[in-house]
Each structure stands twice: as C-alpha cells, then as structure tokens.
Structure 1
Amino acid sequence: MTPLHTVLMPMSPTAIRRRVGYRLRELRGKAGLTTIEAAAVIRGSDAKISRLERGLTPLRPGDVQLLLDRYGGVDPSERDLLVQLAGESGRRGWWQAYELPEWFNLYIGLESAASSISNFETLLVPGLLQTADYTRALVRQAQPTATAERVDRVVDARLKRQARLTGDEPLQLRAIIGEAALHCVVGTADVMRAQFAHLARMSKSPNIELRLVPFSSPAYAPYGRPVVILDFPEPDDPGLVYFDHLGKGVYVEDEAQIATHRQSFEMLVGGALSVEESARLFADRG
C-alpha cells in the first residue's frame, strides 16, 4: 500500500476516504477481526464497516480513533494522519457546487479518485467523451422542463469531469460504444457529426482506448447494458462496478462479481472493431 505520508490534502475527499478505508481494512485484517467485531467497536453494522473500508461512506474522526485503538499496530504519527485525513474526507468536492443528484455526486467522487475506467455504453456516447452540444441536447431531451440555467450547469459539470482525460497524470479510459449509439440521434444531424468528429480526435489520445462494438458481435447481446468499471491507484484495491438504474447508482462490491464483469468487458473488447477501424468509422461520420 502507498505510504499514507504521501497523501496530500488536494486529493478529492472520495480519494482520501478510499485511502484511509483501505488502510483500516489492512489493519483490521492484521488484528484478526471480522467486520462484525469491528462494527461493535463503533456501535455500527458490518455493512457500515464494509462501506467505510471501500470509501463509500463519510469517515468520522471519532470512529477512526476507536477503530485504531482496537486494531493497534499503528505508530503515533500515522495515527494522527489517519484521524486528520478522516476529517478532511468530509470536505465538499467540486462537483457538489453543481447541485447534481446526491446519488450521482457519489459516483463523480469515485470517478475523481479512479486511476482508470472501463466503460461500455449501449445507446449513447460515454459522458467523458461527449461534446458540450451533445450533452446539452441530451439533457434537454431527457429533462424537457429543465431551465436553461439547469442545463448549463449539467453541461459545465460534465466538461469539468472531462478535464481528467488531460494533464500530467491523465485518467486511463477504455471506452466501448455499442453500434446503437451511431443511430440514436441526440440533437441535430450537425450535433451528431460534431460528436463523431470529436470521438475520432479523442481516439488518438494515448490514454484513451476507444472501440465500437457492432450489432453482429457475439458479445453485444449477452452484456446488453451500460456498465462502468472503476479502478483505483492502490494495487490491492479490487475496484468497483457501477450501473445507472432507475435514477440511482448501483455498485457491485463483491470481488467475484467484479471479476465476472471484467471478463465480460474483455469479451466486448474482443468482439469490437479495432481502435483504428473505430476511429476511421467515427471520422467518416464526422
């Protein structure tokens, strides 16, 4: 595990929660305690301990102190840092200024902490690769009563998320787009042409693997639903699988199920067009 003294305060609060949570998980394992036994220390549930260790719930400095007292094996300097970081984990992320749904705030926080993302979209262009006009048209179609201010806020938030794709340590993105997205019109024909041209440009980025999976692929139908697999910097972190479902975010945390989703994603990659073929197809439509 990366030494905690390398954790800097500018990290997102979600990244801090995951870093501290995984250290607590490591210490609990060394102490030989189950999640049920750890939960009793803070008068919580084993589900709470599990979510705390995965960075899916806010950290309370008092809870962290109690757990560290029970686990032992931590020198004073690391203990102080863990408690300090627990307090920092409550900071508001930049995304919370955009008044997005709370369930989506959690996802953006996890996305901001991820080092790589694997995303399959069946009907739409992945959010991280959408143009502003495509996003604007999509929001207007999905939320016809939304005010212009509300639409602009959603577009601005999406563009800010896309900043992770550039910079000194860009997010690694593997994006598989279903053929249906070519035919699902969002906005006007001009909006779609500009979107395809943007995909052709983005496919040239060294940190982006962009492929189209055709209807004829044997992997298309079995998977059949959008999915995001998030991976994080810690080498022992199994990652998370995320779905949008009925207006809320659903997370898969079981390691065996995550492995199954990874296998399915690789089947999609194997059944998709090559990066070069996909780029040419997008360019032809742009």
Structure 2
Amino acid sequence: MANFAERLDLALTKRGFTGAQVASALTEAGIPITRAYVSQLRTGKQTNPTLQVLRALASCLQVSVGWLVGDDYLESGAVEDLQLRAASIGLGASELSESSLTLLRGVVELARRAEGLPDEPEPPSSPDIPEAAAPLSGPQRRALGKRLHGLRLAAGLSVEQVETAVGKGAAAIPAIEEGRIAPAPITAERLLALYGVTVPPIREYVLSLARGEREAAWYDAQSVPVWLATTYALEQRATVIRTYHPQFVPPLLQTEEYARAAVTVAGPATLGQQTVDEALALVLARQESVARDSGIVVWAVIDESVLTRSIVGPHVQLRQIDQLIEHAKRPNISLHVVPAEDPVYVPRTGPFTLWRFAEAFEADIACAHGIESDELITDTTAVEAYHQAFTKLSVTTTTREETFEVLNFHRERLSRSLGK
C-alpha cells in the first residue's frame, strides 16, 4: 500500500503542481508552510503534518484526506474530525517496526470488537489518484470566486460563519473568493448547500466551473445575477431553442436599436443591471452564437401585436422587421406569428423558452421569463406542459410562407406611413 509521501507525490504529479505552488497557495489561504516543508513531506523526511495542513493539502490537490494518508475507505471530501484523528494515528505509525505495527493492529482489532464495529477491510494496494478536474486557470478561479462571493452575501453569511461550518482547512474563504486558490469540487458543493443553492441548473452552472469543465465566459461576470448567468449558460449549450414572446421581438433576433428600446421600456433591472448600456451588452453577447451559424436551431413564435407595437419609433420598427425577414430566410431559424385576428390558440402564460441539448439523455429545460427573475423548470411533467403549449402554438400559427406575408404586410404599412 502506498504511504503518505508516495500519495502526495502522485497527487502533485497528476495535478501538475510544484511544491512551491502548493506552499504559496496554502500560505495565501492562511496556512503558512514553506516549499522545503512540502518537499520533505513529499520525500518522506517529514511524516507528521498537522490536521490543518492535511486538510489544506487535500483541498488544494482535490483529493480526500483519507486518500492522502492511505485510507481509501474514508468518504472523499467529507472527513469528520474522528476520522481525521484516526488517519493521523495511522500516519504517525508509518515509521514503526513490524513488531510494533503488529501490536498496534491487535489493539485496533480489540477496540473495534469492543465497540461492535465490523472487521476492518484490507485497503487496496493501488494508489491510483481519484479523478478530478485539472487545476483551474486564473480566469476560472476568479470567476468562480466572484460567484461564490455573491452567493455567500446573498445568503447573509460572514466569512467566519462559513469557515466554521466547512472548516478553514477545507475552504479558506477569502482566498477562494479572491480567486487566489480554487476549492475542490466537493468543497464547492458544500458551499452551495450552505448558501441554500438548490436549483439543479444553477448548482450545475457553478460546479461546471469548479470542475474545470468550461472556460470562464462573459456571463460569469459578477454583475450578471446567478439566475441570469445560468440561463445564458444553458442557452449557449443548447442545440435547439424554442421561444415564445407575446410582447417583444425575441432578444436573439433583435436589432441593437430595438434591443436598446426594449431594455429601456422594461427597465435594465429586469436583466439585473444598473444601466441600459450594461443590459444591452448582455443582449448583444447572447446573439453572437446565433449570428455565427454555430448550428443552433431557433424556433421562435411571436404575437402579431409585436409587429404593430412601436416601442421607439417607426424607423427603428421598420429596420427590425427587415431584420426579421432576413432571419426568417436562414435555414436554422423558424419564425411564426400568432395572428392578431381570430387566433386558434393563445397560451395562458407569459414569454417562455425551451432548451434542448446535444447529449441524448440530457433532459430538456424550460424557462419562464419573469419580471424580476427567470424560473428554471426541470420537473419533467412541467417541462412537457410547456412543450405541448409550444407545439400547439407551432401548428396553429403562420406557416413559413405566411410568416413572410405577414412581415411584408407590416413592412409596407410602415413604409407608407413614413412616405417611402
């Protein structure tokens, strides 16, 4: 069985860390150690690290304390104090003679029997390091840190309260929130649970960054609320987007002028922003994936009143209709209009979106767009209800040819009003 020094060396090698990097990370996290000390631990010249150092090393290297000291049966990332003390005893026995080890094992067996515990299983001989994400880059660490900082503040918790709850060695909160070190994914999960983040897509949005599964993106900016960043992340991953908008042109299809007017009318706070310019920047960033022909299919349904409602003036409205006509010509965009007169079906809902993803077994997600935030819907029955509503809309609205007729009708109407 591999000993502590061998496992530490293996973890450092697999994670691509040098002793100096680990020493620097732990020191910044409030656990001062030197590069020389890490080297001594790695070579077996030092065999008695404190529990605090063990916890910090495990967190930095994204392994459990149990794995690090050679006990593969300890639960990864959730080692309790009693388990840590037991691990420390095992670590301290690493240099004992064979006869002393035999005696110690006998004492342990007697103690386990006295407490009614099962016989201790033989640990596996393989020291293979548990799978974990590669070390996070600077932008990933900073984006994750800022997001966790915002969630902690939203939960109303102080740094001291969080460190007490999860253990300072497991999560040095200031260093994590400043992006100087990255928490292990299991630590990030514990922080999300502590902060009351229970919505699965939001949890996955944060954890995908903690696991290093994606690069930091524009929607990871601290100014973008976590619920909104999650919807943008889902939108960027989707292969099929079905969206219904009864009041405005869908944001993915808006011109910049129209988007500015829509944000102004609705208020930038609906996108969690302080100014119209900030909110507009988010809308334009969303459109890039559709504009670059990335393979995303957009299926949009709008109410005909959207084409007659002038939120900024006829010139801007005319240019918006021209752009809708161009969008409707693209093979990956299907645009339909609910007629103003005698509509066959109008759902009892506001705007909503459905996302479908590339993974065959990944469930669709629905999003009901609200006034102050969006509601992400993952319950299969509820998602199916939105699918049924959208399907009914699709078959009772305009066909592709009829859509062009409606768009051209309103284009000509506006042109005449402008004397063109």
> Which interval holds the TM-score relative to the shorter structure?
0.5 to 0.7
Distance 1:273 1:163, change over 3 A: same
In structure 2, the residue matched to 1:58 is 206
In structure 1, the residue matched to 2:357 is 232
For 1:105 and 1:151, the matched residues in 2 are separated by: 18
Match for 1:121 among 226, 245, 255? 245
The answer to whether structure 1 residue 203 and structure 2 residue 328 are counterparts is yes
Aligned ranges 1:263-282 → 2 under 5 Å? 263-282=388-407
Aligned ranges 1:176-187 → 2 under 5 Å? 176-187=301-312
Deviates more, 1:151-160 or 1:261-270: 151-160
Secondary structure at the counterpart of residue 329 of structure 2 = coil
Q: Is the 8 A contact 2:356 2:365 kept in 1?
A: yes
Deviation at 1:150? 3.2
What letter matches 2:350 in structure 1? R
RMSD (Å), alpha carbons: 3.2
The answer to whether structure 1 residue 188 and structure 2 residue 337 are counterparts is no
Distance 1:143 1:227, change over 3 A: closer
For 1:272 and 1:206, the matched residues in 2 are separated by: 19
Deviation at 1:51? 1.5
Match for 1:130 among 243, 254, 258? 254
The answer to whether structure 1 residue 155 and structure 2 residue 273 are counterparts is no
What letter matches 2:408 in structure 1? A
For 1:98 and 1:129, the matched residues in 2 are separated by: 26
Deviation at 1:86? 4.6
For 1:224 and 1:275, the matched residues in 2 are separated by: 24
Q: Which blocks of at least 5 consecutive residues in structure 2 are unaligned?
A: 1-135, 141-185, 412-420
What letter matches 2:332 in structure 1? N
Deviation at 1:194? 0.8
Distance 1:55 1:240, change over 3 A: farther
For 1:262 and 1:225, the matched residues in 2 are separated by: 14
Deviation at 1:90? 7.5
Distance 1:56 1:218, change over 3 A: farther
CA deviation map 1:27-48 (0-9, x unaligned) = xxxxxxxxxxxx9xx7769x97
What letter matches 1:108 in structure 2? Y
In structure 2, the residue matched to 1:24 is none
What letter matches 1:51 in structure 2? P
Distance 1:55 1:233, change over 3 A: farther
In structure 2, the residue matched to 1:217 is 343
CA deviation map 1:20-66 (0-9, x unaligned) = xxxxxxxxxxxxxxxxxxx9xx7769x978717x8645228xxxxxx
In structure 1, the residue matched to 2:92 is none
TM-score, length of structure 1 as denominator length: 0.67
Q: Is the 8 A contact 2:239 2:356 kept in 1?
A: yes
For 2:267 and 2:353, the matched residues in 1 are separated by: 23
CA deviation map 1:155-180 (0-9, x unaligned) = 23212211211335321000000122
For 1:277 and 1:121, the matched residues in 2 are separated by: 18
In structure 2, the residue matched to 1:35 is none
Secondary structure at the counterpart of residue 250 of structure 1 = strand
Q: Is the 8 A contact 2:345 2:393 kept in 1?
A: yes
In structure 1, the residue matched to 2:20 is none
Deviation at 1:193? 0.8
For 2:354 and 2:293, the matched residues in 1 are separated by: 22
Secondary structure at the counterpart of residue 176 of structure 1 = strand
For 1:94 and 1:144, the matched residues in 2 are separated by: 18
For 2:233 and 2:268, the matched residues in 1 are separated by: 27
Deviation at 1:132? 0.3
Deviation at 1:130? 0.5
What letter matches 2:200 in structure 1? R
For 2:203 and 2:221, the matched residues in 1 are separated by: 21
Deviation at 1:102? 3.4
Secondary structure at the counterpart of residue 124 of structure 1 = coil
Distance 1:144 1:100, change over 3 A: closer
Q: Is the 8 A contact 2:351 2:368 kept in 1?
A: yes
For 2:227 and 2:199, the matched residues in 1 are separated by: 18
Match for 2:291 among 138, 146, 166? 166
Q: Which protein has the larger Cα radius of gyration, Structure 1 or Structure 2?
A: 2
Match for 1:142 among 266, 273, 278? 266
What letter matches 2:233 in structure 1? G
Deviation at 1:135? 0.8
Secondary structure at the counterpart of residue 265 of structure 1 = helix
